[in-house]
Amino acid sequence: MISNYLPHERAETHEWIASPPSFVSGAEIEGNEALPFRPNRTVEDRWRRGSLLSSLEAPSIEVADQAIDEYIAHRLPPIALDAPIGTLGDFWLELARGNGLHRSSIWKGGGHRPKRALIEQCIETALEHDLIFELEQWPDAHAVTSPLIYFRDHGLLRRLLDAHDTVERDAIAKMIEANERTRAERKLVERRQRRDDLSWEGFIIDALRVLASGSAETFVWRRDPDEIDLVLKWCAGPLWGIEVTRGRGAKKPTDGFFEGCRQLGVVDRFVVAPVSVAHVHGGVACLDPVEALARTREELTSLLGR
């Protein structure tokens, strides 16, 4: 639980998706009648709006963004860095840029950054407030890299990245050469697409790990260029290998995914994509997030019955 959230102000993904829609303040216009606003219970809406109920139940994405911005302005945990090197905004923007990357990569770039010890203290504060989580490397002799860092609230992550991109666009606008502006803006769009991919990846991993917490350990397995996005090590059951994609799931996993599953002895493997795919590639089913959560819940029920 995020310690600076009130308990009723946050919803976990599996709880929110499974809950019946509630009527909250706001209005939708149908003909001449104003109807109470009914929030969506879709995975896409949960990913975009984050975990705050004030955002999830807002009548529009604009109002949802206002709720997130209010939290950023007034309730984001204060993190002290030695002045004048860093500020609260600087750290959180850098942390957002590093979402989905190794912990040791946070604040790697830039000519002026705090000492590593200060950055580590800031990361620990974010972990203590449950605003981010770490995904450890699979434990073996080759896993010498630091864990991956992911945001837990992807509405918050989106707004922080929006703020960062605004700053960068302002800098681009000051460039004299039009061709330089075009090239820089194209790179900005490409980076944002990659960050959205990592946001979706972290969102799905977090949803599955929270649901399985107490019954499974979670890891990432990497041997460049081979990777398994999420390994679920059940306390008494099969080892799961999970690939996460923001695409439509029509392509089969990479050869590296299959090789990783072979090396680890994974017996249950599947892809999680925005939509499920009826056919199976190489024995790997493609599930949408709701189906993946249901499959995880079934495994939990099975473990409890043993």
Q: Residue 185, Cβ neighbours under 10 Å: how many?
A: 15
Predicted local confidence at residue 29, as pLDDT:
47
CA dist., res. 163 & res. 169, Å (int): 10
- Beta-bridged to residue 199, according to DSSP, are none
Residues 6+ apart with CB under 8 A from 271: 242, 243, 244, 245, 249, 253, 277, 281, 284, 285, 286, 287
Residues 6+ apart with CB under 8 A from 192: 161, 165
CA 164 to chain centre: 17
CA dist., res. 51 & res. 19, Å (int): 14
> For every one of its 306 residues, what pLDDT tens digit does the chain have, with 9 covering 90 and above?
334 444 458 899 999 988 766 655 444 444 555 556 666 789 999 999 999 999 998 999 999 999 999 998 888 876 654 434 434 467 888 899 899 999 998 887 655 667 788 888 889 989 998 999 999 999 875 666 899 999 999 999 999 998 877 666 666 565 656 566 677 677 777 888 889 999 999 999 999 999 999 899 999 998 877 889 999 999 987 899 999 999 876 667 888 899 999 999 998 999 999 988 877 777 899 999 999 999 999 999 988 776
Domain edges within the chain:
1-213, 217-304
Predicted local confidence at residue 141, as pLDDT:
56
Predicted local confidence at residue 26, as pLDDT:
47
Predicted local confidence at residue 282, as pLDDT:
78
CA dist., res. 216 & res. 2, Å (int): 21
Angle, nearest 10°, between helix axes 178-212 and 154-173?
170
- Which segments within the chain are labelled E, that is strand? 24-30, 33-37, 132-137, 148-151, 216-223, 226-234, 239-244, 268-272, 277-281, 284-287
Predicted local confidence at residue 5, as pLDDT:
44
Predicted local confidence at residue 85, as pLDDT:
40
Give the fold, CATH level 3, of 217-304.
Trna Endonuclease; Chain: A, domain 1 (3.40.1350)
Residue whose tokens read 């997030």: 289
- Listing DSSP states for 53-76 in one string gives HHHHT-SSHHHHHHHHHHHHHHTS
CA dist., res. 13 & res. 44, Å (int): 11
